[in-house]
Amino acid sequence: MIHRLCVIGVGLIGGSLALALKKYEACRRVTGCGRSIQNLDKAVELGVIDDYHTDPAVAVQGCDVVLLAVPMGSMQAVMQAIKSCLSEDAVITDAGSTKGVIIEVAREVFGELPAGLIPGHPVAGNENSGVVAATADLYQGRRVILTPHENSHKDALHKVVQMWQAVGAEVKQMDAELHDHILAATSHLPHMLAFSLVRELANSPHHDNIFRYAAGGLRDFTRIAESDPVMWRDICLSNRDAILAAMDRYRDELDRLQQAIRESDATALYDMFVEAHDARAHFRRLLDARERDCGH
């Protein structure tokens, strides 16, 4: 049971966690923190938070768990602000999309990594944002990846694991570097591809016809290009090397395909498409099994 949770950044991610913890009675009180009074008032009205402060240093006082749910680019400033006001045993976790940078920034701000810091990444969310989009079931059956470090205390880890399990998430632990590598491949790279495709189509001299004649497949394929630009700017800045490496590998793959098309190499094309087809079918079966398991 969490005594008092402080959610810094009351949007889709932080708001949904607060709603879910209340629904499952896993938290007694939630204090919100953010820059927009209007948003915080809305969050109180929606029952997402019980009270709020706009100053993080005040908001965290007396809280046993602090969730940093701000854009990656604001993590350092928030850590700096709360640093000297945290309760002695406070557990600090975050919902940032990259994890290596959280550890790096925490080391800079705190001098040494706090025993109460458990970096985390709920692999959930959608193209909506803001507290009005928050729902209590956002994390149901979703994965949350925690990346504890060498100083992380087991009690702090236990508390964060319990918090996410209480809202229906499946918690995994791994090294921050592996996390960033995997997310670069499965999430960051696809977003870069979708952003680039939409830009390419929009800049085409035929763009009116292009959007007019596009079929349903393109809708699915480009959905993620509507994600929040600030969040994606920050992800690019904070996971730069892994994203660049994934993009390089992708370009090699695209090169091979383009070469086969250029040479009208029917056999190579067929083999490539069969491999892709089979790998996607394997992936679909994995996802279907997971969704069956968690009742989605």
Footprint (CB under 8 A) of a second copy, residues 4-33: none
Stretch that binds a second copy, among 31-39, 52-60, 100-108, 227-235 (CB under 8 A): 227-235
Interaction of residue 266 with a second copy, rule CB under 8 A: yes
Interaction of residue 137 with a second copy, rule CB under 8 A: no
Q: Is the dihedral of CA 68, 72, 73, 75 positive or negative?
A: positive
Interaction of residue 245 with a second copy, rule CB under 8 A: no
**Residues in region 191-220 near a second copy by CB under 8 A:** 191-204, 206, 209-215, 217-220
Nearer to a second copy, 41 or 263 (CB): 263
Within the chain, where are the H helices? 12-23, 37-45, 56-59, 75-82, 100-110, 154-166, 176-183, 189-202, 207-213, 216-222, 229-238, 240-262, 266-293
Task: Out of 54, 89, 258, 293, point to the residue binding a second copy (CB under 8 A).
Answer: 258
Smallest gap, in angstroms, from Cβ of residue 169 to a second copy? 12
Interaction of residue 77 with a second copy, rule CB under 8 A: no
Give the phi and the psi of residue 126 in degrees, each rounded to 5. -150, -170
Nearer to a second copy, 54 or 259 (CB): 259
Nearer to a second copy, 1 or 274 (CB): 274
From residue 220, alpha-carbon distances to 124, 190, 282 in Å are 17, 12, 19
Smallest gap, in angstroms, from Cβ of residue 148 to a second copy? 17
Interaction of residue 275 with a second copy, rule CB under 8 A: yes
Interaction of residue 232 with a second copy, rule CB under 8 A: yes
Interaction of residue 177 with a second copy, rule CB under 8 A: no
- How far apart are alpha carbons 223 and 275 in whole angstroms? 25
Smallest gap, in angstroms, from Cβ of residue 88 to a second copy? 34
**Residues in region 31-50 near a second copy by CB under 8 A:** none
- How far apart are alpha carbons 69 and 9 in whole angstroms? 5
- How far apart are alpha carbons 118 and 121 in whole angstroms? 10
Interaction of residue 182 with a second copy, rule CB under 8 A: yes
Strands of the sheet containing 51-53, edge to edge, are 51-53, 27-33, 2-8, 65-68, 91-94, 117-118
- How far apart are alpha carbons 282 and 181 in whole angstroms? 21
Interaction of residue 130 with a second copy, rule CB under 8 A: no
Task: Out of 143, 151, 153, 173, point to the residue binding a second copy (CB under 8 A).
Answer: 143
182-192 CB burial, b ≥16 within 10 A, e <16: ebbbebbbebb
Nearer to a second copy, 16 or 227 (CB): 227
Task: Out of 124, 131, 156, 167, point to the residue binding a second copy (CB under 8 A).
Answer: 124
Interaction of residue 254 with a second copy, rule CB under 8 A: yes
Interaction of residue 226 with a second copy, rule CB under 8 A: yes
Smallest gap, in angstroms, from Cβ of residue 152 to a second copy? 21
Interaction of residue 113 with a second copy, rule CB under 8 A: no
For residue 31, the cross-strand partners are: 6, 51
- How far apart are alpha carbons 83 and 185 in whole angstroms? 33
Find the helix or strand (DSSP H, E) in which 2 lies.
Answer: strand 2-8
Interaction of residue 147 with a second copy, rule CB under 8 A: no
Find the helix or strand (DSSP H, E) in which 170 lies.
Answer: strand 170-173
